[in-house]
Every structure is written in C-alpha cells, then in structure tokens.
Homo-oligomer: A and B are copies of this chain.
C-alpha cells in the first residue's frame, strides 16, 4: 500500500490523507495560516529538512492547495500562498489545535520563568 493508493479510496478522509496525511505537510499548512509563505520560513519554522519542504510544497501546489507566486522577478523568487481550496482546510487545522490545547498541554513551559 503506497501513499497515492489512497487517492481513490471510497473514504473522503483517506483521500484527504493521501494529500496532506503527513506531519510536515500539515505543519507547512499551519504555517501558511500563520502568514508564512517563503521556503526558508517553512524550513525554519517546521524544522523539516529543505528536501522535505521542497517535496511537500510541490505536492501542495500540484493539489492546488497552495499557489506559487513570484514576489521578485530579478532573482526570480517565489512564495507560496493558500488558494481558496487551501483556506478551506482551516477548520481541520482548528480542530487539531483545539484538541491539542485541551489534551496536550505544553509540558516544558517555554521560557515563562
């Protein structure tokens, strides 16, 4: 059973997972909702390797969840922004957020001495 074998599954949850069913993809999406949009921002924020960021970004663009837009012409730089389809994924991330806040309280209380 491979990743893509789920994309025609009878279950909509499975189909969704075939697209965004991995830690890094979901983390990148979270970043998008937080306003991040550049390659390095995703790399720094998620902690995933550049290799993975590159791969996931490609998938997300292909799935039309993100759109690649040039924000600089001369050195040709692109940023990734949510499409409408991508924005509609917000509720799913919110559900994750709510569940995490309720059931997984942070343990190592940041720097808050």
Contact = CB atoms under 8 A, between A and B. Distances in A.
Interface of A: 1, 3, 5-19, 21-23, 26-27, 30, 46-49, 85, 88-89, 91-104, 106-108, 110
When all copies of this chain in the complex are counted, the total is 2
Contacts of A16: 96-97, 99-100, 104
A7 B9 CA distance: 30
Contacts of A8: 106-108
A12 B106 CA distance: 8
Contacts of A93: 13
Contacts of A14: 27, 30, 100
Given A16-B97, A22-B21, A104 B7 contact: yes
A85 B96 CA distance: 13
A15 B104 contact: yes
